[in-house]
Amino acid sequence: MNKQTPTTEDQNETARRYPELFAEIDRSLLPRHVAIIMDGNGRWANTRRFPRIKGHREGVRSVDDVVACARELGIPVLTLYAFSVENWKRPQVEIRALMALLKEYIKAKVAVMQENNIRFNTIGRIHDLPGEIQKLVKETTEATSRNSGLVLNLALSYGGRAEIVDAVQAIVKESAERRIGPEDVNEALVTAHMYSPDLPDPDMIIRTSGENRISNFLTWQSVYSEFYFTPLLWPDFKRKEFLEAIIDFQKRERRFGLTGEQVRPHKAP
């Protein structure tokens, strides 16, 4: 995966709006992959006595802000939990509104993605989406496939357990066809059957709205992710809050099962 190099214009935009926060970020310690559970759109609308779809539309504004910030910083991958397998249980009127909003968003952003070298990708049971959205997703993925900057990865009709089940089913099928044997099954093989095995595991997972759980999100990939929970509802989470989350991430010591002494630079006596 090509690493995105921010342009001078990008840096000036980020620095212009939040110069102190921008100065705190160590560009050599950026996470390779940030994933976000965008929670709180409905509550944001309810507290203001708006229809729930108004909250989802305001949430799109936060998507725009965070995507721009991630791109400007040079973060390679941004995954957004847009619609879960459990979300199909919501009232049909809300599901139809969400599908219409998703279609509207993708159509509106194709040119923006091309202009800003963003590669569009999706994970999930895309075949469960309405046919016209499946077609739009496929066309947008193909149209941006040669872009080498930020990977904007939308989790649609996605569930972490569903992803593992789908991977196991594919492995069992290969075993039945005698293409692999039991001795071939290991972590690398399972990872290879995930929805997007070419993407790195998320270094950081952000969840908004004050809920402290992962809600069936990237179950296999999140075993060593750093979690960042904020009480802010998603429509209130913008560029500034994203920068603050990255700064918090950079203050953490990631050991991956090792001791602190093993991962810290050795200092001569």
Q: How far apart are CA 169 and CA 96, in angstroms?
A: 30
Pick the catalytic residue from 39, 116, 121, 203.
Answer: 39
Q: Is 39 a catalytic residue?
A: yes
Q: How many CB atoms lie within 10 A of CB 20?
A: 8
Q: Is 166 a catalytic residue?
A: no
Beta partners for 65? none
Q: Report residue 104: phi and psi, to 5°.
A: -60, -40
Determine the angle formed by the axes of helices 239-250 and 52-73, rounding to 10 degrees.
50
User: In this structure, what token pair is assigned to residue 188?
Assistant: 């690398």
62, 168, 228 from 221: Cα distances, Å: 25, 15, 16
Pick the catalytic residue from 46, 65, 87, 117.
Answer: 87
Active centre residues (catalytic) = 39, 87
